[in-house]
């Protein structure tokens, strides 16, 4: 079995973490870096990651996250927040950054920028947010895999009130909306009902179709 697949079998949606254990900053950095390196539609990277360690803030988040204990038992909480809309400024910022970093402009690339500018900002903000949120999920998935690779336990979570989380973190003012959260920590030695249960997935023949 490849090392990555082995780690993906090891990981599970941890239900109880040991609150005395702290994930090291270098591991957290690599877990976040995996999200930053995620591919996104048109390379717009329309999401940000917040790393929350403040105990008071974590306690407030737990209250609006179905009281899920991992939020405060983990040492770090990653919050994936997507752009609330696509604006010309946001699109131009990313295209300008690419030109600046690569040191040249390209006609095809500039035509592509115009195509996005002529389409995205005019669309309904909710449609744009949902598109951005799908990109946030890609980063989220990368962080889930990276945590496993680092031997760090994590619980992917949608079980929270996004409007309330946005209020706690002041996301609306930043033009962001929370999408998913990911507590990071280490599984508790006892008391996790899921830890020893078999990982269940549909068999390959119900999941993969080969079109050769
Ligand atoms: C987007 C998403 C949201 C989830 N939300 C929660 C959640 O709020 N609380 C929780 O305990 N597990 C949550 N899960 C975990 C899933 O239930 C779990 O990943 C799934 O049952 C497969 O089990 P495994 O991750 O242990 O292999 C979520 C998973 C994903 C991908």
Q: Which residues contact 1 (CB under 8 A, 6 or more apart)?
A: 9
Report field, pTM of the whole predicted structure over 0.75: yes
The number of angstroms, rounded, from the C-alpha of 76 to the middle of its chain's C-alpha atoms is 13
Q: What is the pLDDT of residues 7-50, one digit of tens each?
A: 999 999 999 999 999 999 999 999 999 999 999 999 999 999 99
Ligand 1 contacts CB of residue 9 (under 6 A): no
Report d(CA 78, CA 55) in Å as an integer. Answer: 14
For atom 21 of ligand 1, which residue has the closest CA? 13
- The angle at the Cα of 173, spanning 168 to 176, to the nearest 5 degrees, equals 80
Cβ–Cβ < 8 Å for 22, 75: yes
Closest CA relative to residue 41, chosen from 83, 89, 80: 83
Ligand 1 pocket member 35 (CB < 6 A) = no
**Residue 77 near residue 183 (C-beta atoms within 8 A):** yes
Q: What is the pLDDT of residues 173-212, one digit of tens each?
A: 999 999 999 999 999 999 999 999 999 999 999 999 999 9
Q: In this structure, are residues 10 and 148 in contact, taking their beta carbons and an 8 Å threshold? A: yes
**Ramachandran angles phi, psi of 2, nearest 5°:** -65, 155
Phi, psi of 104 (to 5 degrees): -155, 160
Q: Which of 68, 156, 185, 188 to mutate to test the pocket of ligand 1 (most atoms within 8 A of CB)?
A: 156
Q: Which of 13, 78, 196 to mutate to test the pocket of ligand 1 (most atoms within 8 A of CB)?
A: 13
Pairwise CA distance, residues 78 & 61, whole Å: 12
Cβ(151) to ligand 1 under 6 A?
A: no
Written as one string, the DSSP assignment of 84-138 is SS--HHHHHHHHHHHHHHHT---HHHHHHHHHHHHHTTTS-HHHHHHHHHHHHHH
Could you tell me the CATH superfamily of domain 3-86+123-207? Answer: NADH Oxidase (3.40.109.10)
Instruction: Quote the ligand 1 centre to 211 CA distance (angstroms).
Output: 30
Q: Apex CA 13: angle with CA 11 and CA 18, to 5°?
A: 90
Average pLDDT over residues 149-164: 98
Atom 13 in ligand 1: which residue has the minimum CA distance? 157
Q: How far apart are CA 193 and CA 118, in angstroms?
A: 52
CA–centroid distance, residue 39 to ligand 1 (Å): 22
CB 184 within 8 A of CB 58: no
Mean pLDDT taken over the chain: 98
Sheet holding 76-83, edge to edge: 47-52, 76-83, 176-185, 153-154
Report the nearest atom of ligand 1 relative to the CA of 12: 26
pLDDT tens for 78-134 read 999 999 999 999 999 999 999 999 999 999 999 999 999 999 999 999 999 999 999
Q: Which residue lies with its CA nearest to atom 19 of ligand 1?
A: 13
């Amino acid at each position: 079995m490849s090392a990555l697949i082995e780690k993906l079998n090891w990981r599970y949606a941890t239900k109880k973490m040991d609150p005395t254990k702290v994930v090291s900053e270098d591991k957290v950095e690599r877990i976040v870096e995996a999200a930053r390196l995620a591919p996104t539609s048109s390379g717009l990277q329309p999401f940000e990651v917040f790393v929350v360690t403040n105990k008071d803030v974590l306690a407030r988040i737990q209250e609006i996250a179905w009281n899920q204990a991992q939020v405060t038992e983990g040492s770090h909480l990653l919050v994936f927040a997507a752009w609330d809309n696509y604006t010309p400024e946001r699109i131009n910022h990313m295209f300008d950054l690419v030109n600046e970093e690569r040191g040249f402009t390209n006609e095809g690339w500039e035509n592509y920028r115009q195509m996005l500018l002529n389409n995205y900002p005019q669309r309904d903000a909710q449609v744009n947010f949902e598109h951005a949120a799908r990109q946030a999920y890609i980063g989220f998935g990368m962080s889930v895999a990276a945590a496993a690779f680092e031997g760090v336990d994590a619980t992917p979570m949608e079980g929270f009130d996004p409007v309330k989380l946005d209020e706690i973190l002041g996301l609306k003012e930043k033009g962001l909306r929370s999408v998913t959260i990911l507590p990071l920590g280490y599984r508790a030695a006892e008391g996790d009902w899921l830890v020893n249960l078999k990982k269940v997935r549909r068999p390959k023949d119900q999941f993969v179709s080969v079109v050769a």
